[in-house]
Structure 1
Amino acid sequence: MTATVDEMRRVFGAFEGDRDNLPPFDEIYPNYKAPVLRRNGSRLKLEMMTWGFPGPQASGGRPVTNVRKLSSPFWRSALTDPARRCLVPVTTFCEWTAEPDPLTKRKSKVWFGHPDQPVFAFAGIWRPGEGGPFMSFLTCQANKTVGAIHPKAMPVMLDPRSFNRWLEIDRDNICELAVPYADEGVMVVG
């Protein structure tokens, strides 16, 4: 996430926040803080949140970074309450190759972006917690572009016309937004 606050305002509209700008986040990993936009009354608010919900004790408490099963009781309260949904601004995202490189025996990072939108958003959810707020984002079946590299899943990318819908509509209708983004809206950038 390397966009400036001004670039984010051009995409998401006016929002509150005590930041004139953000440092570039060349790579964001689970347990790292990332910029997130959430509703604060009728306005959006920019906050830094840690990526990954604190996990259930049964999983050893490891953070849960991606929302895959929307029907899971673990996600129910955050998905049901529009106040717990958020937009995760993105300039590019990374998926690892499915197979390791034959020479290095390591999987490689492949970066994806949107050809027409330098800043876009993932469908996210957040929760308060000890040490600050936490966020995760939804994933869905991969489209052809992402699936050629990482067939398992991809983040739920929201069309700009869907930002308000994601933040406002009831739970039964938000699941229709958890679909692969159109192939022409995703390209390999590195």
Structure 2
Amino acid sequence: MCNDYRLMVELASVIEEFEHLKIKIRFPEGRPNIEAREDIRITDTAPIVRTAAGERGVGELVQRRWSWPSPTKKPVYNFRSEGREFNSHRALVIADAFFEFTTPEDPKKKRKNKWMFRKAGEPIFAIAGIWRETEEVGEAFTMLTMEPGPDIAPYHDRQIVILEREAWADWLDPSVSAKTLIKPLPAGSLSAEQVG
């Protein structure tokens, strides 16, 4: 499951990508200082664009913790999407790459192979997420997962939900059925490169 992703793109470029899609970005907590990061890991704070209550075509860009504690205190950083509608607290997790890890063929190699996935031809992409308020950590987000599409299946038996660009505004509108938006990308949408 995805436990590491990347965002090396500047905030101005992220906002520009949303403007191309006619999604207005607001900063309810002020314009954040977002640094380029090679690795964003569980419990790190990272930018998300969440639904602006009652307004279609508007998103709120805030920084929140990735994962909230479960009753067993394990972090909930991925959340199964199957059979759920997510009628509130939707968010887009912005990334330019994500990583998956596979067991090496050489049994002497101690570390897993690290694979970087990028969306072909696009500077950023959006992962379907949800957020919630918890007593332990305040507001936090998690990424939704689904059965793997053709580009991920050779590496993992699950994958994060990557939304097509034309679905970003719909994801931010909880009146649009999540089941119509959560689907695998066509083969060849993601490139894979071994980076470790």
Report the TM-score, using the length of structure 1 for normalisation: 0.84
Paired position in structure 2 for 1:113:
118
| Structure 1 alignment gaps of length 5 or more | none
Equivalent AA in structure 2 for residue 145 of structure 1: D
Paired position in structure 1 for 2:41:
29
Q: Residue 156 of structure 1: which of 139, 161, 167 is its match? A: 161
Structure with the bigger percentage of strand: 2
Distance in 2 (alpha carbons) for counterparts of 1:136 and 1:164: 19
Paired position in structure 2 for 1:140:
146
Root-mean-square deviation (Å)? 2.0
Distance in 2 (alpha carbons) for counterparts of 1:22 and 1:106: 30
* Alpha-carbon shift at residue 93 of structure 1 (Å): 0.3
Paired position in structure 2 for 1:66:
78
* Alpha-carbon shift at residue 19 of structure 1 (Å): 2.5
* Alpha-carbon shift at residue 20 of structure 1 (Å): 5.9
Per chain length, whose mean CA-contact separation is higher, i.e. which structure has more relative contact order (CA < 8 Å, sep 6+)? 2
Q: Deviations over 1:24-72 (max 9, x none)?
A: 12111111111100123433111111111321x2xx1211111115447
Distance in 2 (alpha carbons) for counterparts of 1:46 and 1:20: 8
Quick one: percent identity of the two aligned structures?
Answer: 25
| Structure 2 alignment gaps of length 5 or more | 1-6
Distance in 2 (alpha carbons) for counterparts of 1:15 and 1:69: 26
Q: Residue 51 of structure 1: which of 45, 48, 66 is its match? A: 66
* Alpha-carbon shift at residue 169 of structure 1 (Å): 4.1
* Alpha-carbon shift at residue 6 of structure 1 (Å): 1.0
Report the TM-score, using the length of structure 2 for normalisation: 0.82
SS of 1:133's equivalent? strand
Q: Deviations over 1:111-159 (max 9, x none)?
A: 0001111111000100123333110111111122222222x11111011
